[in-house]
Amino acid sequence: MQFVKPDINVDFVGIRKIGFTVSAAMIVLSLIALAMDGGPLYGIDFSGGTVIQVRFDAPTPVATVKKGLKAVGMESTTVQRFGEAGDNEYLIRADVSMEAEENLTKELEQALREASGHAAEIRRVEMVGPQVGKDLREKALFAMFYALLFITIYISGRFELKWGLSGVMAAALAGSVYVLGIFEVSIPFLMTAAMFVTLVLFWFLELKYAMGAIVALIHDVTITVGLFAVFDKEFTLPIIAALLTIIGYSLNDTIIVFDRIRENLRKYPRNPLSFVINRSINETLSRTILTSLTTLMVVVTLFVLGGGIIHDFAFALLVGIVVGTYSSIFVASPILLTWQGRKS
Backbone φ, ψ for residue 149 (5° rounding): -65, -45
Does 284 share its domain with 306? yes
Range of the domain at 67: 49-128
Do residues 160 and 123 both lie within one domain? no
Of the candidates 210, 111, 92, 87, the residue with the CA atom closest to the CA atom of residue 158:
210
pLDDT of residue 133: 66
Write the CB contacts of 57 (distance below 8 Å, at least 6 apart in sequence).
88, 118, 119, 121
pLDDT digits (tens, 9 = 90+) for 135-149: 777 777 777 777 877
Give the count of beta carbons closer than 10 Å to the beta carbon of residue 305.
9
User: Whole-angstrom Cα distance, residue 70 to residue 114?
Assistant: 12
Is residue 220 within 8 Å of residue 32, measured between CB atoms?
A: no
Given pLDDT bands bounded at 50, 70 and 90, which one contains residue 185?
low
Q: Find residue 315's DSSP bridge partners.
A: none
Give me the mean pLDDT over the 37-66 stretch. 80
Q: Quick one: 234 and 276 in the same domain? A: yes
Do 188 and 257 share a domain, yes or no? yes
Model confidence, pTM: 0.80
pLDDT(179) > 80: no
Mean pLDDT of 32-42: 84
Instruction: Provide φ and ψ at 124, rounded to 5°.
Output: -160, 150
Total tally of structural domains belonging to the chain: 2
Question: Within a 13 Å sphere around the CA of 108, how many CA atoms are in the beta-carbon half?
Answer: 26
Q: Are 13 and 274 in contact (CB under 8 A)?
A: yes
In a shared domain, residues 173 and 215: yes
Q: Are 163 and 61 contained in the same domain?
A: no
Residue 210 lies in a domain: yes
Among 320, 341, 151, smallest CA distance to 243 is for: 320
Residues 72 and 155 in one domain: no
Residues 124 and 207 in one domain: no
